[in-house]
Every structure is written in structure tokens, then in C-alpha cells.
Amino acid sequence: MAKANENPDATPRNEDVFAQTTIFLFSVALGMATVVVPLVATASGYALGAVGFLVATSAITQIAARAGMGILMDRVRTRSFVLASLILLAASCVALAVSQDFWAFIVSQLLQGAARAYFFTGAQTHVVRGSRTAVAALARMNVTNGIGLLIGPLIAGLVGAWSLIAALWIAAAISGVAIFTGAFLIPYAPFTRPQRQPGDTTRPMMKRPGVVTAGWMGATAGGWRGILNSYLGVVITEAGHSIPVVGAMMTLANLAALVGSSLAMPLRRLGIGKSTMVGTLLAAVGTAAMALLMPNLPLACVFLVLSGLGGGILQTLGPALAADSVGSEERGRSIASVGTFRAISLLVTPMGIGAMVFVLPSPAMATAIVAVALGVPALISRRSASGDS
């Protein structure tokens, strides 16, 4: 079983300050971009079905980047992934601010996908190498991330009502500030592969029960996030609500996810199976009900909050379970594996909704169907993790 941490000493206070500040600034900038990009696409004349495909292109680079991170973590410092992600996010925002042509959307989303992959997998791995347990370190990171994702969409809604392009420039500037704070993170050395003795056989990472269950938890959380990033704004505006309402509801969803992350530690005591079931049902059923009930804004907000609680629980427990299922030197690979599940879900979810929009009466109905389908694999696999029934 993995050790609780890599560093026996308490995490230095200045490391906490720089790490949490960097996470916060990245999340503010990302939160702004995720609200603005779909709205820029619709304002530029792209059809509703095309919006999902444009946003989903970011998952292409997410999958590619995360698939290679397990190997790269044996050669590259985790801090380097964080810094690279900040540069990529800033470039993503600048590309779309400069041009709204088709090529700019594609380039912007590909850059943003790589930024997401390097940041979240890199930052998650970085924080679990400190003195805290994996679930405590990840809960702390997700709370900070959640606060940033609360503020980012709210700023985007307010600025976007005046100028969507100005919101992109502001997001790029915030990413630039985060590059400075990220440069002061502890430069942990790359991981060292465990020495294998003659005759030893190592089970592939993606076949280990704890990692597989964690992966499906990450996929469900990724699908929930994919819906927020792509079609939440579309569903809200299709129901007759304004752009500031889009920003406010995104902030509400992220506030709920923040609370969900803080509930992850006590919920984990119920066991892997029960905690996975609670998080999955909240995320999947809550999202479906929210989409279908969007014309009734107060009721839609209630189910949006429930879905956010589930998303926050899953995005904290998934990587923590993966980290605790392997040895300390394999944590980077296990967390990267969960990130790959998440990235694939981020690709499939918007594309699935985009495809269904062409045959179903509304984006809301398509969103509801995909949301329910997202939770099925996690519910099926929840009993396969060792030590739980």
C-alpha cells in the first residue's frame, strides 16, 4: 500500500501559499474561458450542434497529453507541467480573442485541452507528494479550484455582457500572473520507476481494480464538467434566460462542487462502493433533471446544486483512490490514468449531445440522456475495488 506521503516533514507554508494561489488563478481563468467560448461560438453564427463539436476538440489534446504523462513524469518535474499548462491556457484565450474564425476555435480548444491535462494531472500529483494524505491534499486543492471556478464564471458573465472578447483577454492576463506564482513551487524530482526483481510481473495500471473504479469515477465527473463547459450555457439561453444568468448558474454549480469536495473525506468513510454510488447518482440524475427543468429556473438550480455535489465528490475521491491503490513512485501514473478516463469523457460527452441535437427536439433532452448514461459504468464498477463490497 502507498505511503501517506512522500515528504515526511510538514508541507512548508510558502509552498501552500504559492500552490493554492496558482491553482486559484488558473481556475479563475479557466472558469472564464469555459463560459465565454460557447457563447462566442453562438454569437459568431455557429449552429447549436456545432458548438458541442468545437468545445469537444479540447478533449483530443487532453487524451493525447494525459496518455503520455505517466511516462513523462519519470523524466519531468511536476512543477514543469503546471507552468506549461498556464502558458497554454493564456495562448488559448489570446488565439480566440484575436480571431473568431473556425481555425481559431480549433487552435484555442486544442491548446485549452492540453492546458487542462497538464494542470490538473500535474497539480494533483504535485500536491499528493507533500505531507498530507492523498484525499486531504486533493480535497484542499479542489476547494481552492472550486473557489476559482466560482469567481471566474461570475466575472465572465459580468464582463461578457459588455464584451466577450474582453473577457478572453482578462482570462489570458490572469494566467500570466499565475505563471509567476507557479515558478516558486517546490521542484520535486521526477518519479523513479520501482525496481523489478527477476520473475516479477506487474499488473498493467489500467487493470488494477482500484484504479479502474477511480477511472470511472473520473469519467463521470469529467462528463459532468463537459456538460457545464459545452451545453449548460446553451440550455440556459434556449430556455430564455440571459447571459449573466449563465455566469451565475456556472458559479452555483462550481460552488456546489466545492462543497462536494469538502464532503469527500467524511463520505469516504462509508467505503468505496457507497461513496461512489452517492456521488454518481447525484451527478448523473441531478444533471438530467436540471436540463429538463431549465424553464423553471429555481427548480433547475436545485438539481444543478445536487449535480455539483456529486461532481465534487467524484473529482476528489477518484484521484485519491487511484493514488492510494499503488506505491508512492507509481502515483503519477495512476493519477494520469484517471485523467485519461476523464479526458475521454470530456470528448465523448459534448460530441454525444451534439449528435443527439440533430435528432431530438431540444439540447436539454439530449443533455439529460447523455447525463444518465454517464453514470452507468461507475455504478457497475464500484464493487470491483479491493476492500469494498
Give tens-digit pLDDT for 322-346.
777 666 667 777 777 777 788 788 7
Q: What is the mean pLDDT of residues 264-291?
A: 86
Q: What is the mean pLDDT of residues 19-34?
A: 93
328 secondary structure, DSSP code: G
User: 228 and 250 in contact (C-beta within 8 Å)?
Assistant: yes
- Domains identified in the chain and CATH numbers: 13-189+205-381 (1.20.1250.20)
The confidence score (pLDDT) of residue 9 equals 47
Residue with grid cell 464564471, as numbered in its chain: 153
The confidence score (pLDDT) of residue 173 equals 96
**Residue of 258, 248, 257 lying closest to 283 (CA atoms):** 257
139 pLDDT band, cuts 50/70/90, is confident
The confidence score (pLDDT) of residue 207 equals 63
Q: What is the mean pLDDT of residues 204-225?
A: 79
232: pLDDT strictly greater than 90: no
**Residue of 222, 230, 294, 228 lying closest to 49 (CA atoms):** 230
In angstroms, the CA 106 to CA 92 distance is 10
The DSSP code sequence of 61-90 is HHHHHHHHHHHHTTTS-HHHHHHHHHHHHH
pTM of the model: 0.73
List the alpha helices (DSSP H) in the chain. 13-43, 48-56, 58-72, 78-98, 102-128, 134-160, 164-182, 209-230, 232-238, 243-268, 272-292, 297-324, 331-357, 363-381
Residue 169 CB partners (closer than 8 Å, separation 6+): 93, 94, 97
User: 69 and 336 in contact (C-beta within 8 Å)?
Assistant: yes
The confidence score (pLDDT) of residue 171 equals 95
pLDDT digits (tens, 9 = 90+) for 30-51: 989 988 888 888 888 877 667 7
What SS3 class is residue 246?
A: helix
